[in-house]
A and B are shown apart, each in its own frame.
Chain A
């Protein structure tokens, strides 16, 4: 710590230059924090279902291809499967396309049986849901977001499903109740969810009757998940609708990857940013040391050893990068709520910021080492020759 005032003063020797370099690195780490957070969210998705005992069965070739609802009976017959339900992707929004709603047509009996104990719904509202054909159960966060109340009629626009009666993409539901989830880690994943009756959906749509998007199964023994998955897929091998059964987490990942390899895209952007940053900060550090050759020579004259001079220059680089990283990452942390609005249903975690500090240290070492080595190798007599 006794060297800190010297390192700090040296860092601010050229205030404007240091300030601009600091700002550049702050912006880079702000970007790093935001992209890393998004990358983390996509690579560690919340499944929307709790526990390791859930399997998802989709069409083998694409999750956009349907499966016949009749497959549910066969899946239920597989030893180890405790319950099966089916769901389709409704693709809905409310009033404007930016108001995404995770609307899911579900079979009430099997869905809530499979997810027993996971949802918090009052008995009265659950009964109302079961009794109302156009009824919908809406997550409390979604109710709050759009200012809905129980008893409201809400129109949702599906991007896929036209109605048989008038070819309209607009579907109207009666909100009969609200729900929340017991597991707080699932709160974000369920925050945009609206559940409505599969029968209403299946009978009302103009095409695809009898088809489902995917099956969800609960297994009695999670340690047998892999064997049970194989058994399910074996049932439909060589049929017109071959299946792919996988743990719920893997399914969510596959679903996200429909949009492309987000992780690769984000890492490519980060790579480009840091490559540019290496040149910028590296050049600044080199220039800074070049200008201070006589001062470094004086330090050596006073008895600072070669290793000590190397450490001082490295410490300066470390200080610059770590300060910038802390500020940049703190800003990206502060921006989490804004990112969350743009990535509805995806759980963001500040844990994604941890690699940022590692990146800062790595950056400091890479950009600091060449000038530090130059300072270390400095010959006192040569360096002082023009500055006596």
Chain B
């Protein structure tokens, strides 16, 4: 088995709202090998997004160890986590979350602002990413001038442009029609197979999950394997 890019050991996540404490993840242990495309499925409230947030370094666990791309995330402060995210992870969301006032190219350039690349290099890299996802001809268009599928491609280009080791996708096809959804999923599959990107994707859609190499199911804050809690 190849080296794990994501490794979780006995991870708990609790949210406290006033006097109430909600246990979202309980003693979760998981390994995702480098280069794998994993679909994370489960009913609403099962903890999929929380798990994704932890893997992507957007949140920290209440207990347990999380190692992603060789870095213990549970030991990092918010500043170090931000720097780690910039270097190692790309995010794709259901509603694209592009900056509405920036062109597609400027949106894709955003992560590169945190690097030392020159303006010309940033532009070249952004165009390369847009070309890779097949939307270079829309580089000057703003998000409101793009279809859902096109906007999601721009979002994927933004996630890819800094060449992260891991792509984290939260319902990337949830807002798309079947055709656009399939195009996006094929694109993710191509990035996984041809460019070796590790991908963790949350989805409700069984058809979308079929594009992944492995499906993981969650329920009540724990992983199920063949219908059994692990």
Contact = CB atoms under 8 A, between A and B. Distances in A.
A304 B84 CA distance: 10
B58 A301 contact: yes
B91 A6 contact: no
B180 interface: no
Residue from B58, B100, B122 whose CB has the most chain A CB atoms within 10 Å? B58
Interface string A83-105: 00000000000000000000000
B49 A388 contact: yes
Interface footprint category on B? 20 to 34
Given A2-B119, A380-B58, A303 B99 contact: no
Contact of B85 (A2, A13, A295, A303): A303
B57 to A, nearest CB: 9
A381 B59 contact: yes
B106 interface: yes
A388 B83 contact: no
A209 B18 CA distance: 89
Interface stretch (B37-45, B62-70, B108-116): B108-116
A165 interface: no
A135 interface: no
A306 B79 contact: yes
A388 B95 contact: yes
A303 B122 CA distance: 16
Contacts of B101: 9-10, 12-13
Interface in A356-388: 380-381, 384, 387-388
Q: What is the interface of chain B mostly: helix, strand, loop, or mixed? A: helix
Contacts of B100: 13, 295
Given A302-B91, A303-B85, A9 B58 contact: no
A298 B82 CA distance: 12
B87 A388 contact: no
B106 A5 contact: yes
Interface residues of A, number: 25
Contact of A303 (B82, B93, B102, B106): B82
A388 B170 contact: yes
Interface in B202-221: none
A3 B114 CA distance: 10
B85 A301 contact: yes
Interface in A254-301: 294-295, 298-301
Contacts of A294: 97
B58 A305 contact: no
Given A294-B97, A299-B110, A384-B58, 7 more contacts: A5-B102, A6-B110, A9-B99, A10-B101, A295-B97, A303-B83, A388-B49
Interface of B: 49, 53, 56, 58-59, 78-79, 82-87, 91, 93-95, 97, 99-102, 106, 110-111, 113-114, 119, 122, 158, 170-171
26 contacts: A2-B119, A3-B113, A5-B102, A6-B99, A6-B102, A9-B99, A10-B101, A13-B100, A294-B97, A295-B97, A295-B100, A301-B56, A301-B85, A302-B110, A302-B114, A303-B87, A304-B86, A304-B114, A305-B82, A306-B79, A306-B82, A380-B58, A384-B97, A388-B94, A388-B95, A388-B97
